[in-house]
Structure 1
């Protein structure tokens, strides 16, 4: 075992927690923060049950939290949580204003519990990941550091900042750290090629890893990752929803190296982690308090989640987000104490120019059924849509599937929508689009989930991005 990996595993032992009643943790969290302004306003001190918790706080999106977070950023104390934030991470929102997520020591502890469970699974299923060095996606590209009014750092924090100091320090010792003063992909590829004992890679988006691979192919033509890094045992990345079409491409480039679908991890918190036994994403109940809303917006207890049904995820974390509508939708693939959850997409991303009610999930399903890659752009001024595809020969089949939506089909037949304009995607379009989205919305390059439906960007802007 790599000595740095061994030291990291030892530091995580104290964060390995046995399964416990999640309500106990929520009650402790409410008691701890009952004297914060948010806690007083929502009567944390008198909450004695899950039902009372739901009655005290309605489901809240980021805008409901924004004024409280802005007070924290201004330097006020005991606003959202009695555990004061040491900084903020920026992530993209649905509006032009980025979201600032408070980072607290309590949140770092919750992330450490998740990391301990995740790595415990690796120890049992694939201990070879700890044999050599690791690459963990730390991608400040597109993220310019800032400082809040109260003097706290904003943005450009490394992934190790999400963990307690001792864990973060040992994780950093284990990692390959590229020189990112220039091009992020070139710097990372060169650092990895100088690390022959690379044994595990963990990134967010598969398209980010393919960006690194594009440079690797130029520097080592004709070589797969298996050829270049014989110790590489596992690659962890998103593999569901809009990331799914890229997995076959990545698998071919890796040359047979195992790909483990990453659980649903976000800046705000962790919803699912690879299970210790079989690696399938399961509810990360040791990390935060999770709730689920059905399609009617009704609360569904964890023990009543139904296989095959889709739910919106609510998070309550030690970072100061309470009953937070994550915007993530999951499908239950197995029930139980630790239900298995598959990420299916973001909630609420739909287009309704003339009553067609076209949802991103419908676009994703069409692309997935045909195994094609691309996206759809809404053009309100026309009104109509632009369909961007790698292979224009697939236009007819894609449109046939999209027209399963009867309202979309009717709008096209009646001329309410203009005929869909089809555009060919250029090579490396995924990286170009991801970089443009980071520049326009904020966030980090490695965290971008490429959308299947763009609804709030002018098609001419998209065309200018893609050349």
Structure 2
């Protein structure tokens, strides 16, 4: 066993004990975090405008600071972006994380001196918890590959600006950088397909032990490995032991990824965002992600079904219920205040508080009043694939198909790119319909009432999703395909490039 793997074990024990301390009092920990944020933020322009200095309780805070998304907070972010100090947090941020926005183009999320450790330590602690729980640390002695965005930064308002994954790349400890792939020269390549070929060139001769990234882009990397060698990934890299992923639900990709690897490997799920590193899988085999409560982030949770009300209720950690959908609201030492993250979660345990990520609050399908969410369509697909084990899915999305003909009912359209299609497409579509009806009573009612017809399954040709993402300038990196949408924009785009 190498030096890194040997030294990681006592460090993993130390970190696990630190986490155990705040897990003993999670509610008190969150109250302490809120007090600390208020003390630091009271003197900022935002703090003075919202009277943060007079806030004493969570209820006071909810009264003084409304829930707002990036668009609503954009005037404040624009002042930060222009180089003004003491706007949302003392001084200026160290970085701006540039990320894609749905309505306003690029978003610029501040990363401060106080918030950067959350991003760095969150990923580190996820791996150390894995070491602590399993005793496995050999992977630290091999090569670690992180599929990410370019680490090249630009300057906006005197502030270094770039993709979050690229910013974090600059803070990888020196002792880990020797193990890290791809190289800097490869990582800065903007064209994803060119970059991917270079990554394959660099990794094939190496002793790869950990591979990390968003599942669909990792699958592209695996496919290139298989194409180049004619062998499964697990044979090409016999010491590849750990797959680390985040950003999307792994389940729709699991079967094809594992088949491409050719053997089982351990996995760790992360919940990173430009706004903060929020949770990670602290127990192998437990799908719940441990919410990080002592990392400079104060959480509030809005019941998803009430999110679009004028004044929706805001639950503190003490008030959340198990197995209920919540939209996440963050306030943090990055200068975010009452910030609607856009992600929805469901609590699967308390003490410790663990969540599963269920989708995006704006990514739902309710063109006919059914309010289908991402978690439901992902579970639906998984159940249909269980009934049809020959099926492998590359990517999919669901859109409404509204009929202009009163004699022809409207329906959902499932656009699926198959690696292996079903033997009986009609039976597979029926399995999808039956599974979704079980999970969503409104959808079931609409079919029973003949308001909707059974769904339409539309297989897409190989590479359709890649071609569409490329046409949008979103191929690779941290970009994700929405699971569902309330209009036809994505569906028509896919059909247009298919």
- Residue 261 of structure 1 and its aligned partner are, at CA, apart by 3.8
| Residue 447 (structure 1) aligned with residue 478 (structure 2) | yes
The aligned residue for residue 220 of structure 1 is 229
* Structure 2 residue matching 1:453: 3-state secondary structure: coil
- CA displacement 1:364-420 (0-9 Å, x = unmatched): 332122126432233568576533133344223323444565665676788876886
- CA displacement 1:348-373 (0-9 Å, x = unmatched): 32334454544444433321221264
The aligned residue for residue 387 of structure 1 is 414
Residue 24 of structure 1 is aligned with which of 32, 35, 38? 32
* Structure 2 residue matching 1:300: 3-state secondary structure: coil
Residue 426 of structure 1 is aligned with which of 448, 455, 461? 461
- CA displacement 1:304-341 (0-9 Å, x = unmatched): 433323322222221111122112121222211x3121
- TM-score, normalised via structure 2 length: 0.79
Q: Is the 8 A contact 1:234 1:258 kept in 2?
A: yes
Q: Is the 8 A contact 1:88 1:153 kept in 2?
A: yes
The aligned residue for residue 301 of structure 1 is 316
The aligned residue for residue 81 of structure 1 is 89
| Residue 397 (structure 1) aligned with residue 431 (structure 2) | yes
The aligned residue for residue 251 of structure 1 is 258
* Distance in structure 1 (CA, Å) of the matches to 2:403 and 2:45: 45
Number of residue-to-residue matches in the alignment: 452
Q: What value does the CA root-mean-square deviation take over the aligned residues? A: 3.5
* Distance in structure 2 (CA, Å) of the matches to 1:309 and 1:348: 17
The aligned residue for residue 407 of structure 2 is none
Of the structure 1 ranges 254-263 and 342-351, higher mean CA displacement relative to structure 2 is found in: 254-263
* Structure 1 residue matching 2:217: 3-state secondary structure: helix
CA spacing shift, 1:186–1:29, aligned 2, 3 Å? same
- Residue 209 of structure 1 and its aligned partner are, at CA, apart by 0.7
The aligned residue for residue 267 of structure 1 is 274
Residue 190 of structure 1 is aligned with which of 201, 219, 237? 201
- CA displacement 1:69-104 (0-9 Å, x = unmatched): 111111111111114123322223332523221122
- CA displacement 1:167-191 (0-9 Å, x = unmatched): 5544433311242536122122221
Residue 341 of structure 1 is aligned with which of 352, 355, 363? 355
Q: Is the 8 A contact 1:108 1:163 kept in 2?
A: no
CA spacing shift, 1:357–1:201, aligned 2, 3 Å? closer
* Distance in structure 1 (CA, Å) of the matches to 2:41 and 2:275: 18
The aligned residue for residue 328 of structure 1 is 343
- Residue 276 of structure 1 and its aligned partner are, at CA, apart by 6.2
* Distance in structure 2 (CA, Å) of the matches to 1:116 and 1:421: 44
Q: Is the 8 A contact 2:41 2:89 kept in 1?
A: yes
* Structure 2 residue matching 1:32: 3-state secondary structure: helix
The aligned residue for residue 155 of structure 1 is 162
* Distance in structure 1 (CA, Å) of the matches to 2:454 and 2:383: 23
- Residue 458 of structure 1 and its aligned partner are, at CA, apart by 5.5
> For 1:14-53, what aligned pairs fall within 5 Å after superposition?
17-18=18-19, 19-20=21-22, 21-53=29-61
The aligned residue for residue 397 of structure 2 is 375
| Residue 132 (structure 1) aligned with residue 142 (structure 2) | yes
* Distance in structure 2 (CA, Å) of the matches to 1:385 and 1:53: 41
- TM-score, normalised via structure 1 length: 0.84
Long gaps (5+) in structure 2: 23-28, 307-311, 386-390, 405-409
Q: Is the 8 A contact 1:264 1:273 kept in 2?
A: yes
- Residue 231 of structure 1 and its aligned partner are, at CA, apart by 2.1
Q: Is the 8 A contact 2:268 2:280 kept in 1?
A: no
* Distance in structure 2 (CA, Å) of the matches to 1:256 and 1:319: 41
* Structure 2 residue matching 1:290: 3-state secondary structure: strand
* Distance in structure 1 (CA, Å) of the matches to 2:483 and 2:118: 32
Long gaps (5+) in structure 1: none
* Distance in structure 2 (CA, Å) of the matches to 1:40 and 1:9: 46
> For 1:7-18, what aligned pairs fall within 5 Å after superposition?
17-18=18-19
* Structure 2 residue matching 1:263: 3-state secondary structure: strand
CA spacing shift, 1:278–1:27, aligned 2, 3 Å? farther
* Distance in structure 2 (CA, Å) of the matches to 1:464 and 1:8: 50
- Residue 32 of structure 1 and its aligned partner are, at CA, apart by 1.8
* Distance in structure 2 (CA, Å) of the matches to 1:309 and 1:385: 25
CA spacing shift, 1:330–1:352, aligned 2, 3 Å? closer
CA spacing shift, 1:273–1:129, aligned 2, 3 Å? same
